[in-house]
């Protein structure tokens, strides 16, 4: 396996940042925030993380901008997001390069992530003319009863490494058209993509005359995020990450009566029924399980297959796995890039040890791909005799556990028997089975699919999950309501003052 040297990767990063107009807002002198590439494990550059007072100042700037931005008509706010989408289109290749460098995604997936940003900008521009309220019948004559929606305030976006730009855009594009301002803390593993996106949004704001401060970027590890979580000026904290992180963030924001939008872990499963189109199913299974080296929150981690076809499905998936090429994500033909780092490889190795101890059999994969740099692994396919504790846990690595079932009811029970509730799917050509899986007593996930895998959600549908996944919703549908506050308005246009519920006061 041939991997490019770190010097060449560093040059690519510098060129992409310069193309996006990134400014030196985070100096490198004595920097303690290390921007690394999982491709080699080498350092791309050193950055200076934000100090606590800088985080507070960023929130204050965003709040000052909010006081002006909230009065701008929503269609004019949409002009900012439209311009951002144009700049993202212009710099699609540059941003994809940075995504590959920092997150290790293969080029096709990196380009797809940037396209997702462009798509959500288009969605948000249309939304800027559709922030509809309601008119409801009043029980009192001469009265009008309505609902109106208003900007919420400063939104803190805390994002994860695996989607270093798309999740930011889901939140930011929607928040901006809703009249909010944004402070973004990206993962400390992917600061360069954030610097590039911030530069493009700043340029978009200048081009359309938006207030300075509608977007602020802060860099660093946990303490920076904690500052945002605890700041009473932050109206909404939208945080993407682990369940452990969510358990810390949720109570702290609730304690100050702030709002939370949590997108946490997923232990996603696909049911393969006897009637399934196996050619289609295998394609969906392999991409969902091995894409992004198993480092998506929607990655397929459990395969629940009817016993009558289990051997055939395992054979086909194993055959496809053996053809997957792991290596340099920039290289043509590579389908599996690197794990984000050593901790990810250690977690994968430990999970496979536990699976074997529980009676599991590794059908293929799970080996370290020899490399002088980076952490590369072949996706693992593991047959399990039961859904043991290791199967119920989310390991952020390419491990797919195979379980069998006899009845659809048993499959649904197995499917729902984990603490997470993000994404799910069933492969079947039986309409009754499909409808049962989508019914209220079927999948308990926020996303339930038929004849497609668990990953690759479109921006038009609300994204999010239940149980330990956090319950938040981002991107499409009516998820914009999370970024606004609702007011119920009553207008009395009569010359009388009747009370509700027929109450009479006085004589």
Examine residue 505 and state whether it is found in any structural domain, yes or no.
no
Are 95 and 130 members of one domain? yes
Measured CA angle at 449 (ends 306, 249), to 5 deg: 110
Q: pLDDT: is 29 or 335 the higher one?
A: 335
- The pLDDT confidence band at residue 289, using thresholds 50, 70 and 90, is very high
CA distance 435 to 268: 19
CATH number, domain with residue 13: 3.40.605.10
Question: What is the average per-residue pLDDT within 493-503?
Answer: 92
Question: What is the average per-residue pLDDT within 84-108?
Answer: 98
* Torsion angle defined by CA atoms of residues 487, 488, 492 and 498, in that order, rounded to the nearest 10 degrees: -140
Question: What is the average per-residue pLDDT within 302-328?
Answer: 97
Task: Give pLDDT tens digits for 105-142.
Answer: 999 999 999 999 999 999 999 999 999 999 999 999 99
Task: Give pLDDT tens digits for 4-53.
Answer: 999 999 999 999 999 999 976 666 656 789 999 999 999 999 999 999 99
Task: Give pLDDT tens digits for 262-276.
Answer: 999 999 999 999 999
Tokens of 113: 């992530």
Are 429 and 481 members of one domain? no
CA distance 56 to 341: 31
Count the domains in the chain: 2
Are 139 and 282 members of one domain? no
Are 237 and 287 members of one domain? no
Question: What local confidence, expressed as pLDDT, does residue 30 receive?
Answer: 63
Residue 77 in this model has a pLDDT that exceeds 90: yes
In angstroms, the Cα distances linking 273 to 20, 283, 419, 424, 434 are 48, 15, 23, 14, 10
Question: What is the average per-residue pLDDT within 286-311?
Answer: 98
Question: What local confidence, expressed as pLDDT, does residue 358 receive?
Answer: 98
Contact of 102 with 35, CB cutoff 8 Å: yes
CA distance 55 to 234: 11
In 247-385, the DSSP E strands lie at: 259-263, 268-272, 300-306, 361-364, 368-369, 376-377, 380-383
Which residues, 6 or more positions from 206, have their beta carbon under 8 angstroms from its beta carbon? Answer: none
Question: What is the average per-residue pLDDT within 238-252?
Answer: 97
Are 305 and 237 members of one domain? no
Residue 506 in this model has a pLDDT that exceeds 80: no
Are 195 and 293 members of one domain? no
Question: What local confidence, expressed as pLDDT, does residue 223 receive?
Answer: 94
Examine residue 493 and state whether it is found in any structural domain, yes or no.
no
Question: What is the average per-residue pLDDT within 373-383?
Answer: 95
% of the chain residues with pLDDT over 90 = 94
Which residues, 6 or more positions from 505, have their beta carbon under 8 angstroms from its beta carbon? Answer: 499
Question: What local confidence, expressed as pLDDT, does residue 171 receive?
Answer: 98
Question: What local confidence, expressed as pLDDT, does residue 353 receive?
Answer: 98
Examine residue 501 and state whether it is found in any structural domain, yes or no.
no
In 18-104, the DSSP E strands lie at: 33-36, 43-47
CATH number, domain with residue 420: 3.40.309.10
Question: What local confidence, expressed as pLDDT, does residue 92 receive?
Answer: 98
Are 403 and 280 members of one domain? yes
Question: What local confidence, expressed as pLDDT, does residue 25 receive?
Answer: 66
Tokens of 83: 């311009």
Residue 240 in this model has a pLDDT that exceeds 90: yes
Contact of 181 with 131, CB cutoff 8 Å: no
SS3 of residue 271 by DSSP: strand
Question: What local confidence, expressed as pLDDT, does residue 29 receive?
Answer: 55
The reply to whether 263 belongs to the active site is yes
Q: To the nearest whole number, what is the mean pLDDT of the chain?
A: 96
Question: What local confidence, expressed as pLDDT, does residue 373 receive?
Answer: 82
Question: What local confidence, expressed as pLDDT, does residue 188 receive?
Answer: 97
Q: Which domain holds residue 318?
A: 268-461
Examine residue 492 and state whether it is found in any structural domain, yes or no.
no
Question: What local confidence, expressed as pLDDT, does residue 1 receive?
Answer: 72
- Select which of 102, 113, 188, 263 is catalytic: 263
- The pLDDT confidence band at residue 424, using thresholds 50, 70 and 90, is very high
Contact of 174 with 475, CB cutoff 8 Å: yes
């Amino acid at each position: 396996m041939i991997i490019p040297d770190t010097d060449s990767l560093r040059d690519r990063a510098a060129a992409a940042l310069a193309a996006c107009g990134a400014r030196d807002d985070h100096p490198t002198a004595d920097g303690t925030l290390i921007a690394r590439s999982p491709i080699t494990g080498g350092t791309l550059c050193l950055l200076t993380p934000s100090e606590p007072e800088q985080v507070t100042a960023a929130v204050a700037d965003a709040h000052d901008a909010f006081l002006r931005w909230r009065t701008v008509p929503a269609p004019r706010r949409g002009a900012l997001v439209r311009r951002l989408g144009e700049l993202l289109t212009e710099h699609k290749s540059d941003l994809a390069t940075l995504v590959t460098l920092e997150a290790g995604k293969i080029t096709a997936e990196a380009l797809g992530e940037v396209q997702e940003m462009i798509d959500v900008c288009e969605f948000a521009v249309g939304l800027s003319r559709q922030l509809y309220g309601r008119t409801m019948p009043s029980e009192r004559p001469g009265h009008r009863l309505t609902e109106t929606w208003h900007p919420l305030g400063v939104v803190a976006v805390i994002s994860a490494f695996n989607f270093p730009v798309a999740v930011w855009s889901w939140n930011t594009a929607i928040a901006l058209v809703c009249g909010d301002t944004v402070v973004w803390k990206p993962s400390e593993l992917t600061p360069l993509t954030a610097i590039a996106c911030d530069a493009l949004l700043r340029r978009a704001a200048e081009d359309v005359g938006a207030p300075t401060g509608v977007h602020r970027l802060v860099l660093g590890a946990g303490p920076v995020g904690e500052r945002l979580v605890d700041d009473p000026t932050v109206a909404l904290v939208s945080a993407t990450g682990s369940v452990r992180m969510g358990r810390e963030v949720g109570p702290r924001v609730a304690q100050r009566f702030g709002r939370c939008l949590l997108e946490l872990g997923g232990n996603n499963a696909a049911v393969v029924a006897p009637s399934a189109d196996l050619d289609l199913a295998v394609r969906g299974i392999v991409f969902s399980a091995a894409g992004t080296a198993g480092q998506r929150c929607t990655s397929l981690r459990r395969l629940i297959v009817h016993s009558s076809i289990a051997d055939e499905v395992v054979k086909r998936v194993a055959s496809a796995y053996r053809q997957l090429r792991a290596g340099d994500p920039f290289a043509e033909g590579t389908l599996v890039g690197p794990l984000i780092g050593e901790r990810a490889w250690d977690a994968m190795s430990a999970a496979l040890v536990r699976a074997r101890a529980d009676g599991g059999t590794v059908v293929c994969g799970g080996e370290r791909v020899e490399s002088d740099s980076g952490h590369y692994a072949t996706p693992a396919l593991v047959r399990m005799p039961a859904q043991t504790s290791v199967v119920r846990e989310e390991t952020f690595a390419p491990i797919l556990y195979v379980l069998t079932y006899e009845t659809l009811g048993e499959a649904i029970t197995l499917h729902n028997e984990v603490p997470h509730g993000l994404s799910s799917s069933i492969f079947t050509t039986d309409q009754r089975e499909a409808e049962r899986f989508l019914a209220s007593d079927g999948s308990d996930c926020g996303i339930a699919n038929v004849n497609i895998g668990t990953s690759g959600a479109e921006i038009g549908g609300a994204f999010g999950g239940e149980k330990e996944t956090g319950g938040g919703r981002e991107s499409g549908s009516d998820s914009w309501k999370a970024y606004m506050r609702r007011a119920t308005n009553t207008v009395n246009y009569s010359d009388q003052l009747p009370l509700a519920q027929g109450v009479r006061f006085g004589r």
